[in-house]
Amino acid sequence: MNIGTWLRGARLADGTPADVHIEAGRITDVVRDPPATTTGDLDGYVLLPSFVEPHAHLDKALTAARVPNPAGDLRGAIEAMAAAAGSFSTADIAARADAALRVMLAHGTTAVRTHVDVGTSTGMRAVAALADVRERWAGTVDVQVVALVGRPLDGPGGADLRQALREGADVAGGCPHLDPDPDRAVGICLDIAGAAGAPLDLHTDETLDPAMLTLPVLADLVLRTGFPHGVTASHCVSLGVQPDEVQRAVADKVSEAGVAVVALPQTNLFLQGRRQPVATPRGLTAVHALRRARATVAAGGDNLRDPFHPMGRGDPLEVAALMVTAGHLDTVDALATVTAEARTALRLPAVAIAPGMPADLVALRGANLLDALAAADQQRRVWRAGRLVARTTVSRELSLSEDT
């Protein structure tokens, strides 16, 4: 008989001590304020829904040392990767994706949407590699594979997108803002996704050029066509440099269309604004206008130590901290960008610490939520469908003088 497991002694996000019972993959009971005599092995932890990474590039992960980007901007990264990616074997891509997923899981991430390059230099190798990774990680980390195709979308890019969706990609992707005809490219991507019955997740307006604004074109098309499979717009950097009234109007349209926006602070703080040494812009989307309009706003790590961003720990708490520091969200809202909002963007079932919910959980060291998020202690535990899938223990020794 399955009698389940009690997770005792943790605090919930609101600070309440609670004992949580999990059984058959789900939370079956939550006892708030248990008797003070009760202690548990989660004393000193905060228990939260596990994290979701809504935008990664696992095929490129962990290549920064061998694929340098001296220019440090988006064009430099694209050129460096185009020159190097031809040498990436399927096995190499899969091995690096595995390594990245292990790090992400240890940090508390149980679902990842990864864009993978498709086209001239990599062909379909990255799709094949990540489709294999997705199968092997099923049940532990949900992996969604987005086909990220080149240009032009009305030529090879579109053909590659159709092929990738036939050969294992889950989601249609692309970069319309890099296309010779950006507005038309948005429509082509939506048409191809619709024909395949696939969601759409576009790299959208990843530039500080205010004249490049395809996000309202995408939202208009979704509203007009009633596209039913889910649409996400990633980056949306140029929305961040529009006047307030434009931000509001676009945000209203995005919200009405149900288009989710993914902010990517790490990579865009790194890549954007290098030619503006005075009052360097932040390269972030209009987080507050979008949130005021009640649009879904998630946040992701994007690149993990590759030419697009040489830093990164594969930790959603790193992203959440940037959403506080650079995005000016409070800690609760910043946490939501890597949990509830990210689940909505990826059309995953909701998770909360409540009976009936999936037992996809992370326990973070900390006396309270703020403490846990700020410290981002590596000592964590992670459960997927009630199964303990990661447990990190940190040993620290200080040698202090007696009067310290």
Q: Judged by CB, which is closer to Zn ion: 18, or 127?
A: 127
CA distance 136 to 361: 21
**Nearest distance from C-beta of residue 186 to Zn ion, angstroms:** 17
Residue 314 backbone dihedrals phi, psi, to 5 degrees: 65, 35
User: Active site residue: 79, 135, 206, 341, which one?
Assistant: 206
Nearest to residue 229, comparing CAs of 250, 201, 252, 261?
201
Residue nearest to Zn ion (CB): 302
Phi-psi region of 298 (alpha: psi -120 to 50; beta: other; left: phi over 0): beta
Nearest to residue 263, comparing CAs of 320, 210, 331?
320
Q: How many CB atoms lie within 10 A of CB 170?
A: 20
**Nearest distance from C-beta of residue 43 to Zn ion, angstroms:** 39
Q: Judged by CB, which is closer to Zn ion: 265, or 358?
A: 265
CA distance 125 to 87: 11
**Nearest distance from C-beta of residue 200 to Zn ion, angstroms:** 14
SS3 357: coil
At what angle are helices 182-196 and 156-166 packed, to 10 degrees?
Answer: 20
Q: Judged by CB, which is closer to Zn ion: 302, or 306?
A: 302
**Nearest distance from C-beta of residue 310 to Zn ion, angstroms:** 15
Find the length of the chain. Answer: 404
Binding map of Zn ion across residues 301-320, x = CB under 5 A, - = no contact: -x------------------
Q: List the interface residues with Zn ion, window 114-143 (CB under 5 A).
A: none
CA distance 345 to 259: 8
Applying CB under 5 A, the site for Zn ion has a residue count of: 1
Binding map of Zn ion across residues 250-289, x = CB under 5 A, - = no contact: ----------------------------------------
The region of 30-38, 134-142, 276-284, 298-306 touching Zn ion under the rule CB under 5 A is: 298-306
Checking DSSP bridges between strand 361-365 and strand 171-174, what pairing results, if any?
Answer: unpaired
**Nearest distance from C-beta of residue 170 to Zn ion, angstroms:** 16
The region of 40-48, 121-129, 221-229, 297-305 touching Zn ion under the rule CB under 5 A is: 297-305
Q: Judged by CB, which is closer to Zn ion: 7, or 80?
A: 80
Torsion of CA 17, 22, 27, 30, to 10 degrees: -30
Does the annotation mark 167 as catalytic? no
Q: Judged by CB, which is closer to Zn ion: 19, or 302?
A: 302
The region of 157-165, 269-277, 294-302, 365-373 touching Zn ion under the rule CB under 5 A is: 294-302
- DSSP state at residue 148: E
Q: How many CB atoms lie within 10 A of CB 22?
A: 21
The residues annotated as belonging to the active site are 206
Which stretches of the chain bind Zn ion, using CB under 5 A?
302
